[in-house]
Amino acid sequence: MVSELAGTLTKTKIDVDALRSEFYHPSSAPLAVKFGTSGHRGQLGAGFCALHARAIAQAVARLHKEQNIAGPIMVGGDTRLMSRDTAHLCAEVLAGNGLTVIMPEMPLPTPVFSFEIISGRASASLNGTASHNPPQDMGLKYNPSNGGPADAALTSLIEKYANEYMARPEEIKSISLDEARAQGLVREADVVTPYVEALSRFVDFKRIAASPLKFAVHPLGGSSLAFYKAIKEKYQLNNMDIVSEIQDPTFYFIPIDHDGKIRMDPSSKYPMSPLIKFVEDGTYDFAGASDPDADRFGCATKKGGLIPPNHALCVMADYLYRRHKVRDAYSIGRTLGTTALLDRIAAGLGLKLDEVNVGFKYFVEGIVKRKYVLAGEESAGMSVSGWTPEKDGILAVCLLMEIMAVEGDIADLYNRLTETYGKPYYTRVDVPTNDETKKRIKKLSAADFETLHKVAGERVTRVRDTDGIKIYLQSSWFLVRPSGTENIVKIYAETFVSQEHLERLIEAAKELLLK
């Protein structure tokens, strides 16, 4: 159910002092480190505090020493309340262990950490962010030497080591930031210039600058602001306005999301409502946004309003291939819950299609090996081969501006694709549930559905059990995945039949797996 506050600005001011106090002096015992693909995240206090940051940094220092990983570690964070403090604590611990740290001026986007690693200027990174989560949340993410999200083997080891230090904090080594700088163990670096210059390998900024269209970008209070400013200046984009330069850790200026929380999600119509208004009233032809750590993208256009991420991914994949933007790549990559229209586009272009489990880490090897024309996920993440093996919302927004300038409105281009390949009807539904149901679904395998031959009037062609249960039908599919952090089950569904058939799929998924 949508909150009555959705789309409005908050009237309740977040108590910044109280949250800062919780970070340094939690009112209850800190929870154990749970280090996944996106690192460790939690609400400031017991969920994420100074001890978590220090323990994780010590774990990373131990990992680098044990595995003889040479080279500096890049440390930083986005615009969240305790991102800067988290970065400073990590730098002090890494330096205390004799490791060299690059700590550029903050805030910093997630894809820039990845870019610095693949450019050979850093061996790994620690990034203080909780992405587009509510302002009360904080997190710390590790990217290893390939520049992408850490795999399960690495995150399990970091989690194990970090929890040992949570129990024995006296074993954490650190020196003050001033001392670390004096010893040359912590140094700054310009990371804006090389990243912005390199973007021109994939984005034709001259075509954007020459366009009569009017473009808007909104950092949503996040770390992309300095980078959009540099892009505007370097490429003389006089037709691109940065419509908000506010950076405040309470994010009071972002409209409340569907559930009554402030969430800086560029794919949600509620936080994006000011940008949607810009294109609806004709102020701009295109309005793009990235979330606080700039790994996700969103956009609205004059003809299409808010563009669903699946639609944007399809348009970008088709454009990138036809315009020879990604040389030697031979495949499109998508996650399990992402639109199957990409499969049809790949076939039409003579490309392979790789379907991977949910999580950008499953694209890393393919991006590094220059396999993907585009790798994308329905939650508004994408990258391309030859670029960062990490989601990049800045790249996506700039590429979408180029497409608008060269070929027309994203909505029109998507509609043309559906005329060629068929029109999909897609949705994702979050169903409240309990731990028992989630555990039961996790135990299911494809073998449990051997006698299932027909669903919603269509023949079952395949069942996949690598990440939840995905059932493929003749011209549709649905995926049921238990959430790893909340008591909900996510149902993704898509059909090329009709909206009514989509509703039948959702009901069939609930009947099969939730009752």
Q: Say if CB 24 and CB 82 are below 8 A apart.
A: no
- CA distances to 72, 223, 393 from 111, rounded to whole Å, are 17, 11, 8
Taking Cα atoms as reference points, which of 78, 81, 77, 79 lies closest to residue 14? 81
Show the tokens assigned to 177: 């930031």
Q: Do residues 506 and 458 touch, judged by C-beta distance below 8 A?
A: no
The tokens describing 176, both together, are 């003050």
Radius of gyration of the chain measured on its C-alpha atoms: 23
The CA-CA-CA angle for residues 46, 52, 53, to 5°, reads: 135
Can you read off the two tokens belonging to residue 111? 């894809």
Residue 104 contacts by C-beta under 8 Å, 6 or more apart in sequence?
74, 76, 188, 189, 190, 191
Q: Name the residues annotated as catalytic.
A: 131
Q: Which tokens belong to 144?
A: 């290893």
Pairwise CA distance, residues 464 & 446, whole Å: 6
Q: Phi, psi (5° rounding) for residue 218?
A: -135, 115
Return the DSSP state at 130. Answer: -
Q: Which residue stretches of 444-491 are H helix?
A: none
Residue of 173, 181, 175, 187 lying closest to 58 (CA atoms)? 173
- Give the angle 399-362-267 at the CA atoms, nearest 5°: 45
Residue type, 408: G
Picking from 351, 372, 373, the residue whose alpha carbon sits closest to that of residue 363 is 372
Q: Are 135 and 265 in contact (CB under 8 A)?
A: no
Could you give the CA distance from residue 359 to residue 157 in angstroms, rounded to a whole number? 19
* Amino acid making up residue 458: E
Rounded Cα distance, 368 and 385, in Å? 7
Locate 145 and state its tokens.
């030497």
